[in-house]
Structure 1
């Protein structure tokens, strides 16, 4: 059996306490990994894999990274879903110390990472937990940088949809689950990878499709312990003030998030000071499908970032950008809150006020993340300078906004704090350009601490004496290449090359022999070395103490710092909306309590920003009675999908308090926007395009309310003509007729038969996206008009797409024959009921006509066959050929 060294034994003992992590073990200037961790680390980081005890039968794999560059390596691992435990020396290495004590100071995980290298500036990082108590499901979401826990709860039997919606909305980087519930959650959240640990049995990373890592906890605390944990942390006697007194599963989930954060970050996490219960009814619900279809945050395809957030995000600070994104994910549903935001945007619409505010915001850094690092992990000195620079903007912003009329702006002013004592201590204590690491020294200004100044003077004078000593020794010995050097092992020494060794003075004391040189010392050099090292050791200790005291002083102002940070972020987000409105000619919508959507000259903000030609605006009117179902026909590329999306985007913008792209708009408050737009497979789950379409449609029909807005584009196109038309017809009728589902609906379709609905249903209306032809080429007018489209212009669009001309010519020939059959049957049926029977009959005729056209060539062949001149065998062959050709 191989002998295990004391150092390796220490590593193995620490590793045993942190399963499921990669252990970064500090050895000198490197973080080392051993055994399986080394194999994974070398592979994932693409660094050299070496070994200890190479000559033994069982060498120990190892690899390492420099400690000063560790952040970038850790970032790569955490982004791949790994958890990384940082193990540091817990005591200084002294003379005679064979093995220094080491301990893990922090575990960096996907859901708790706030270091600059690990997160994008405008990206919110959430840690989630899912808990079960009796028949209830709870979920909690912790943003460790902002110090806020949001939690929710629902009944288990039918509440999974609400939990899934919250998970999709927050997109947590990491989810905590109990081992006993792993498989249940896996079935419900199939798109997540719920592997037993952060690697599979083959020690390979298994990241989930949406980037979420799942961490198993053997057992969550029970309700009583969880409640006590929260009450202790938030220093309250009851949880009723947080709305949690009747939500046991939410309590457990929130407690687990808090406990995990404390355990991994090795901190009290006192900056986590907000706990709030939320419900889907608190916001306009935008599920993952709708967010994707409307391209709110992410484009549907690769390429330019043509999203709503890219158009309206004019924020200057990272925390303002994150807040604006959260507004888009959770639009408001209370008119008073919407109008409060809108009034603030309206006041900031004034160019001078807005420009001056944005000028001050340019000097504001990411205070939320700085506050997070103040309590979690390590905080570099440059963060303190950034904090001081940000606080310096508060007096100017307060003066600027103190006379504004907006209640929200006044509240924000009242919640900003100048904190002059914090600014003073930072500006007088920290140098203008501090080193990246405290251990490098030189962070504290000269003149701040007399003892520190004296020690620095001693160290400087001794170092100057040593520099003079080198020159004197060169002259005394006659060795021009003599050098006085320093390293951490031997301290100061005189180095003489082998060639000059004979000239070394007799009073030199040998310290080390090298291949090409000898190293010496002298009594005088020893004395100076002791003074320098003693002074520098004391300097390091004093600087560390002063820096810790400054950090503690700043920590004591966490509450007021967080309030100021949130005020900065809100002002930035509001000013961004005002800037967007001014640049893009948006107007303030009228928000009312009725059910009417009335948009005059509405525009799609993303399309308008990305086209060269002038955007064609359109009017749209919807209500819950006579205009609750708009059936829109027209050609591909005519603008149907654009119109659907722009109505939704205008509604969303209005409900975050923004101005909207229109000449004017009167809008209600909707509870949810449903979309069924485009075609997509879910092959991983074995679902075809049509299955996905029907699943999404079913969710709409089961859950829409009269306060919902529904956008349907090309329902039924994923199957046969008969099936598709039948389904589309039934869906439209159901949405129109169901009293408890009578939501406002825009239904874009290529099934012209559906235009019959408007003549039979009192709340349905026909509209078309106008187009015309010019010498055989389609001209899209992109104008919404009353009435139904007379044709689809599909062949003209195909020509634009570049189909070969023979294909275009043949398609036109087939179309003429189809239209001939359709017109003939329609003339025969003019007496029939102008409802479903007429539409279905026409559709059936069209489908039968396809067979007739395909068989026409066979009929012509038979008609011209000269039967009388054929032998019996030739006739038999002719019949068999015809049979093969008949469709």
Structure 2
């Protein structure tokens, strides 16, 4: 079929065969994404089904991934961001794996536009709907899209040129460079179609709850309709009835953390070494399942703001796990038996469009994996039998045997009990061959007997080679060559290899080879294996169809396991690192708090600190010497706030946190050559973003604002921004070297001056020595010339330090002289001189002095006044 005519989607009906997800088996090639200019210049062609594709390219040729005929695994293309940072996938809720995510975006008009979003993850078979009341800058919308890192973004075609480009489209193109943005005809954005699709695709048990959640959210429903239809027509994917996990995610229930903050705080990835675990995700990721790891990542990027419904139940569950050690260890032991169940269940509703040996083999592997899954669930239920808290009780109810036993019974009827999922290629082939029980199909038993006899012939052939040629060979197996021989190279240094050995390959100290008889036996075994797989396929497909009816229950079990794994991971961190349970209040108070990442790197050297902030102390200016710990102190506050709002304990002696809706961090000193932006321009852009969105429910951490430009401009900008942040009534920690800032703002309401202490002592050569105490103290920093002191400690030459000190002293004297000579100083001196003159003239009115003496005194006073006034004016 030509590329411009992709196969039509499988129509939906109630039959099982047509309700599977169908994939195109044809190999497609990614096409590069087009800029808005090229899109405007190239007219869209119409897909046979009405979906527009650019430049006549088949919609099967998706611009962000392709399907290969061998694995059916989508490959996702990631592009670097405009700022030159690593791919956003490192900060994605669904992780950096090859997820194929389609995002549909629709907006309403108005002063505060409503934006609908729908994310359909083809890889994990789930959809997230959201409707946001955003500002004209679409900050929340961009943040939401960045969190899910979509492969393709869909928008109504009217938002593209030659029509007037919408403001939302312009912002998305600017902020999400490298992501494909596709126009889609308006007729696909239908609320009625979206409601019908939700009714057809959502789990039956979840439909009513989903229907209530999306009620009134017109734009989110329209986006869901567009995303699903695009997935069907463009990606050749149809979703099985009542198999899609649909959830509505309101934006007000999670903390907003922008991408810059995620990178600055190293929430997901270490900035210096991407492979290092020295980040918050690496610190807390003690999970034992891939599902738990993904849930932890999602929670770190979107911490909850629901204290009663989410955070306190998690604290209670974590409390119980840390107290009941036996239950905790049993849970961890049971969790080790679970593989990536989420992806496994997704494959149940993704069925190849054409039958093949590979597809049949994968189907048997799926059955064996599901068997291992349902076998492991009762063990987890048993481990939770003593649980008493609400959250653990709910997890136990979702893992009760009644939900998985029907699936286990279906499998036991057709699959041998002793057949399990294996890892090595030979074991996997053997398990697939003997998966279906004997007696189900007569020809199947004959094919297995042929397989067994051919395998026995291989081992007999190996013995014959050893007897006839006197060589000792190891029998090996892999998927490509199947059976082959491995010989020691040293055994044939003095003699040639026998002629019977073919396909010889030398690798190090080994010789890999085959024989003609072995090749023939491999072909016989392959034929018998393929015949066995084909004969088993009918039984396997019927079994899969029966299991698909239980997919909603299995997904709920999977999600419960993921949540339990995350909580148990927190329990592992709590018991090994001495964390304590935080409280939720309106005040932020920490006693003996520790930076979680620094503490792990240097557990013996880290100095705990106290933190306190409320409405009377909401703007805190942190000063201190270089390397005194200012950045570490303010980062610690942000990281502990995130930990508290994902339901984890925190490293402190006592902790109280408010619920924060938005977290802003301005720390990076990077520039962006690619975007032609300097450090200062990036700094100002991020601060503009913060000032537009900060409010009384926000927490902001600002480090060294204004240091990337001149001292005067930097101080002026820092002062102006500080005034705006004070008026926002948010919690702010502002670290700076501008000591004038603390003196100017010190008297303002809500402002508190703090500094990191430093101990200065004198050495034998009378040189000052600075010792960083890393302890927070009240008031601004008192040390002077601490930069020179640090340079001396680092080891600069003495001559350099001496010259620098002389320059510093000279500059200080000049500043003082200028201060003395300032106009205000002159005005004070003139006023003082005039007041003295007035006092003297008042005294001369006394009648005790004769007129001649009074006249001479006045003349002398006049001359003295003129001289002193001239001196003031000429200085």
Q: TM-score, normalised by structure 2?
A: 0.69
| In 2, Cα distance between equivalents of 1:613 and 1:534 | 64
Q: Find the residue that maps to 2:257 and give its secondary structure.
A: coil
Of the three residues 277, 285, 290, the one matched with 1:318 is 290
Q: Find the residue that maps to 2:131 and give its secondary structure.
A: strand
Of the three residues 188, 192, 195, the one matched with 1:221 is 188
Give CA-to-partner distance per residue, 1:822-862, whole Å, 9 cap, x none.
45566789998xxxxxxxxxxxxxxxxxxxxxxxxxxxxxx
Task: Tell me the residue number matched to 2:349.
Answer: 375
| In 2, Cα distance between equivalents of 1:686 and 1:464 | 66
Q: Find the residue that maps to 1:615 and give its secondary structure.
A: coil
Q: Map of 1:622-661 to 2, 5 A cutoff?
A: 622-624=613-615, 626-661=616-651
Q: Map of 1:441-590 to 2, 5 A cutoff?
A: 442-445=433-436, 447=438, 449-452=440-443, 454-456=445-447, 459=450, 539-590=532-583
Change (3 A) 1:712 1:536: closer
| In 2, Cα distance between equivalents of 1:698 and 1:759 | 24
Give CA-to-partner distance per residue, 1:550-569, whole Å, 9 cap, x none.
22222121011111111111
Q: Map of 1:663-702 to 2, 5 A cutoff?
A: 663-702=653-692
Task: Tell me the residue number matched to 2:257.
Answer: 286
Q: Map of 1:729-744 to 2, 5 A cutoff?
A: 729-736=719-726, 738=727, 741-744=728-731
- After superposition, the CA RMSD in angstroms is 4.0
Task: Tell me the residue number matched to 1:17.
Answer: 6
Conserved 8 A contact 2:106-2:155:
no
Segment drifting more, 128-137 vs 350-359: 128-137
Task: Tell me the residue number matched to 1:127.
Answer: 101
Structure 1 position 647, deviation (Å): 0.6
| In 1, Cα distance between equivalents of 2:575 and 2:374 | 28
Segment drifting more, 389-398 vs 716-725: 389-398
Structure 2 unmatched ranges of 5 or more: 9-24, 33-59, 79-92, 352-358, 462-523, 826-875
| In 1, Cα distance between equivalents of 2:735 and 2:96 | 35
Task: Tell me the residue number matched to 1:232.
Answer: 200
| In 2, Cα distance between equivalents of 1:466 and 1:653 | 61
| In 2, Cα distance between equivalents of 1:629 and 1:816 | 33
Task: Tell me the residue number matched to 1:619.
Answer: 610
Give CA-to-partner distance per residue, 1:397-421, whole Å, 9 cap, x none.
2223233221000011111143234
Give CA-to-partner distance per residue, 1:262-313, whole Å, 9 cap, x none.
4425333446433333333211111112111111112223363421111111
Structure 1 position 461, deviation (Å): 9.8
Say whether residues 1:400 and 2:383 are aligned partners. Answer: yes
Change (3 A) 1:792 1:227: farther
Q: Find the residue that maps to 2:669 and give its secondary structure.
A: coil
> How many residues of Structure 1 are paired with residues of Structure 2 in the alignment?
667
| In 2, Cα distance between equivalents of 1:743 and 1:464 | 73
Change (3 A) 1:309 1:802: farther
Conserved 8 A contact 2:243-2:349:
no
Q: Find the residue that maps to 1:779 and give its secondary structure.
A: strand
**Greater relative contact order (Cα 8 A, min sep 6): structure 1 or 2?**
2
Structure 1 position 757, deviation (Å): 3.6
Task: Tell me the residue number matched to 2:269.
Answer: 298
| In 1, Cα distance between equivalents of 2:26 and 2:200 | 38
Structure 1 position 387, deviation (Å): 2.7
Task: Tell me the residue number matched to 2:281.
Answer: 309
Change (3 A) 1:363 1:728: same
Of the three residues 732, 755, 769, the one matched with 1:745 is 732
Of the three residues 334, 355, 358, the one matched with 2:329 is 355
Conserved 8 A contact 1:175-1:215:
yes
| In 1, Cα distance between equivalents of 2:564 and 2:654 | 25
Conserved 8 A contact 1:81-1:213:
yes
Say whether residues 1:328 and 2:282 are aligned partners. Answer: no
Structure 1 position 804, deviation (Å): 5.4
| In 1, Cα distance between equivalents of 2:333 and 2:154 | 42
Structure 1 position 439, deviation (Å): 13
Say whether residues 1:256 and 2:234 are aligned partners. Answer: no
Structure 1 position 193, deviation (Å): 6.6
Q: Find the residue that maps to 1:393 and give its secondary structure.
A: helix
Give CA-to-partner distance per residue, 1:114-136, whole Å, 9 cap, x none.
xxxxx998858361323335524
Segment drifting more, 303-312 vs 286-295: 303-312
Structure 1 unmatched ranges of 5 or more: 1-9, 20-30, 41-77, 89-104, 113-118, 195-207, 471-530, 833-887
Say whether residues 1:384 and 2:367 are aligned partners. Answer: yes
Say whether residues 1:766 and 2:753 are aligned partners. Answer: yes
Conserved 8 A contact 2:624-2:737:
yes
Task: Tell me the residue number matched to 1:420.
Answer: 405
Structure 1 position 359, deviation (Å): 0.9
| In 1, Cα distance between equivalents of 2:216 and 2:137 | 16
Task: Tell me the residue number matched to 2:492.
Answer: none
Conserved 8 A contact 2:188-2:229:
no
| In 2, Cα distance between equivalents of 1:685 and 1:242 | 44
Task: Tell me the residue number matched to 2:170.
Answer: 187
Of the three residues 141, 146, 155, the one matched with 1:163 is 141
